[in-house]
Amino acid sequence: MKKLIVYDLDGTLAPSKSSLDAEMASLIGNLCRIVHVAVISGGNWPQFEIQVLSKLSENSNLKNLALLPTCGTKFFSYEVGWKELYSEDFSPSQKVKILASFRRALEEADYKPIQLWGEMIEDRGSQITFSALGQLAPLEEKKKWDPDYAKRKKITAKLVELIPEFSVRMGGATSIDVTKNGIDKAYGIRKLQDILKISINEMIYLGDALFPGGNDYPVKQAGVDSIEVRDPTETKRVTQAIIDCLK
Listed by start position, the domains of the chain span: 4-88+183-246, 92-180
What is the band of 1 on the pLDDT scale with cuts at 50, 70, 90? confident
| CATH value of 92-180 in 3.30.450.20, 3.30.70.2190, 3.30.1240.20, 1.10.10.10 | 3.30.1240.20
Of the residues 10, 146, 184, 216, which is catalytic?
Answer: 10
Residue 8 known to be catalytic: yes
Of the residues 8, 146, 184, 216, which is catalytic?
Answer: 8
Q: Structure pTM? A: 0.90
Residue 231 known to be catalytic: no
Q: In this predicted structure, what is the pLDDT of residue 198?
A: 98
149-153 long-range contacts (CB < 8 A, ≥24 apart) are: 149/213, 151/109, 151/111, 152/176, 153/213
What is the band of 169 on the pLDDT scale with cuts at 50, 70, 90? very high
Mean pLDDT computed over 164-193: 94
Binding annotation for Mg(2+): 8, 10, 208
Distance (Å, whole) CA 59 – CA 21? 17
Distance (Å, whole) CA 29 – CA 55? 10
187-197 pLDDT, tens digit per residue, is 999 999 999 99
The class of domain 4-88+183-246 in CATH terms is alpha beta
Q: In this predicted structure, what is the pLDDT of residue 101?
A: 98
55-96 pLDDT, tens digit per residue, is 999 888 999 999 999 999 999 999 889 999 999 999 999 999
Binding annotation: 8, 10, 124, 175, 177, 208
Q: In this predicted structure, what is the pLDDT of residue 59?
A: 85
Chain length of the chain: 247
Binding annotation for alpha-D-mannose 1-phosphate: 124, 175, 177
Please name the residue ranges forming H helices in the chain: 22-32, 45-51, 69-72, 92-108, 139-145, 150-162, 185-196, 217-221, 232-246
Q: In this predicted structure, what is the pLDDT of residue 144?
A: 94
- C-alpha closest to that of 169 among 229, 128, 222, 108: 128
19-36 pLDDT, tens digit per residue, is 999 999 999 999 999 999
Q: Is the pLDDT of residue 171 over 90?
A: no
What is the band of 163 on the pLDDT scale with cuts at 50, 70, 90? very high
- C-alpha closest to that of 93 among 165, 197, 174: 165
Q: In this predicted structure, what is the pLDDT of residue 247?
A: 83
Residue % of the chain over a pLDDT of 90: 91
